[in-house]
């Protein structure tokens, strides 16, 4: 059910956003409907939503016995239903019916930050034309950026460089050394790879899409060619800027013991090395999906949203794999130290003969 923009304009701090920003949030929001005695969330829940009550009343029951009423349309009702994680109380509907608006918490924070940064006419990315910030909203909503701390946004935008491109222009070529990370600000592009001896288009990109991160994360040559279909503008980060601003928060590293626990709890263990390396030596129970095939092959092995632990020999390819899979919607951890670290841990735990 679509959320009327007028509803968001009544809520804090969404009421202070520019109309274009609220329009974007309205497109991303969802509405939930409840009846009396239904629970919106329980104390201890670890959901990722910012929740506003836009109709009805709920009772907030705290573990210490306190009870607080939260009613839509009141001064207090303009605020979200407590964004603390884990949830500090249980919210139960006490009116005949109730409606809530749900927004992804991290996306809301990033969008509010962008709205504040870019509203100054002197800001280098300020544009008053309707739709001019569409590329930013799509970028911020990308799964690849879900772990980017909001504080890194300003650093990222300040270090972006703008490049104008022509139709048919090759931005990067398969086999080249990595140099920049790119975001499409205007235009479209085609991604191709050499498969079975000839170039084949494997993806199309549009405003807000990113490319070039794989090679920078893994420190390997480019694994695809990107050619512009329509002319436009690209935003790029140099290799040094990418490593300083984006690389550290993009990868969730775990030690071998934690990786083993995650796998025991149901995470899929993925070896992202080449098949020849996998055949020689691998961790028991792992499946082999080479880094260059992750985008194409992983969805058929595990639906997006699943949990994954990736590893390689050293961690370089694991970092790139984590970024790729995060962008596809997986919950990903990269194993620190790679295959060698896991084998050393297993050897140390083996009983002496």
**DSSP character at residue 48:** -
Per the annotation, the verdict on 60 as an active-site residue is no
Pick the catalytic residue: 26, 184, 205, 312? 312
Chain segment 306-341, per-residue pLDDT in tens: 999 999 988 878 888 888 888 788 999 999 888 888
Q: How far apart are alpha carbons 266 and 194 in whole angstroms?
A: 35
Nearest C-alpha neighbor of 153 from the set 131, 123, 186: 123
Is 182 strand, coil or helix? strand
Decide: 271 and 309 in contact? Cβ < 8 Å.
no
Chain segment 342-351, per-residue pLDDT in tens: 878 777 766 6
* Predicted confidence (pLDDT) at residue 262 exceeds the cutoff of 80: yes
Of the listed ranges 99-103, 269-273, 291-295, 343-347, the least confidently predicted one is 343-347
* Predicted confidence (pLDDT) at residue 67 exceeds the cutoff of 80: yes
What per-residue confidence (pLDDT) applies to 196? Answer: 85
List Cβ neighbours of 248 (8 Å cut-off, separation of 6 or more). Answer: none
Decide: 57 and 72 in contact? Cβ < 8 Å.
yes
Chain segment 158-210, per-residue pLDDT in tens: 899 999 999 999 999 999 999 999 999 999 999 999 988 899 999 999 999 99
What per-residue confidence (pLDDT) applies to 64? Answer: 95
Token couple for 248: 């550290």
* Mean pLDDT, the chain, whole residue set: 89
List Cβ neighbours of 238 (8 Å cut-off, separation of 6 or more). Answer: 159, 161, 179, 180
* Predicted confidence (pLDDT) at residue 295 exceeds the cutoff of 80: yes
Chain segment 207-241, per-residue pLDDT in tens: 999 999 888 877 889 989 999 999 999 999 999 99
Cα radius of gyration (the chain): 23
Separation of CA 231 from chain center: 27
Is 201 strand, coil or helix? strand
Residue 155 — φ and ψ, nearest 5°? -60, -40
């Amino acid at each position: 059910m679509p959320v009327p923009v007028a509803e968001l304009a009544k809520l804090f701090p969404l009421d202070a956003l520019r109309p274009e920003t609220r329009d974007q949030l309205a497109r991303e929001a969802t509405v939930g409907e409840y009846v009396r005695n239904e629970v919106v969330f329980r104390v201890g829940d670890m959901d990722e939503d910012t929740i506003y009550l836009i109709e009805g009343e709920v009772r907030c029951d705290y573990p210490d016995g306190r009870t607080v009423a939260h009613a839509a349309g009141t001064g207090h009702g303009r605020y979200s239903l407590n964004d603390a994680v884990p949830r500090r109380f249980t919210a139960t509907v006490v009116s005949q019916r109730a409606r809530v608006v749900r927004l992804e918490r991290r996306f809301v924070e990033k969008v509010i930050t962008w709205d504040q940064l870019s509203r100054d006419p002197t800001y280098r990315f300020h544009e008053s034309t309707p739709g001019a910030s569409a590329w930013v909203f799509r970028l911020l909503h990308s799964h690849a950026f879900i772990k980017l701390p909001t504080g890194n946004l300003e650093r990222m935008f300040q270090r972006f460089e703008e490049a104008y491109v022509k139709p048919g222009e090759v931005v990067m070529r398969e086999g080249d050394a990595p140099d920049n990370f790119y975001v499409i600000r205007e235009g479209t592009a085609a991604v191709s790879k050499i498969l079975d001896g000839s170039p084949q288009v494997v993806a199309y990109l549009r405003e807000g899409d990113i490319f070039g991160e794989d090679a920078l994360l893994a420190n390997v040559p480019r694994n695809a060619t990107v050619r512009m279909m329509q002319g436009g503008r690209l935003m790029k980060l140099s290799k040094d800027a990418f490593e300083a601003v984006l690389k550290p928060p993009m990868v969730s590293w775990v030690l071998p013991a934690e990786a083993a626990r995650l796998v025991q709890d149901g995470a899929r263990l993925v070896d992202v090395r080449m098949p020849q390396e996998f055949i020689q030596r691998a961790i028991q129970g792992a499946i082999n999906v080479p880094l260059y095939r992750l985008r194409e092959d992983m969805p058929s092995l595990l639906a997006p949203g699943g949990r994954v632990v990736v590893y390689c020999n050293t961690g370089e390819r694991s970092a790139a794999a984590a970024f790729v899979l995060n962008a596809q919607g997986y919950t990903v951890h990269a194993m620190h130290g790679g295959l060698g670290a896991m084998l050393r841990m297993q050897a140390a735990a083996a009983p002496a003969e």
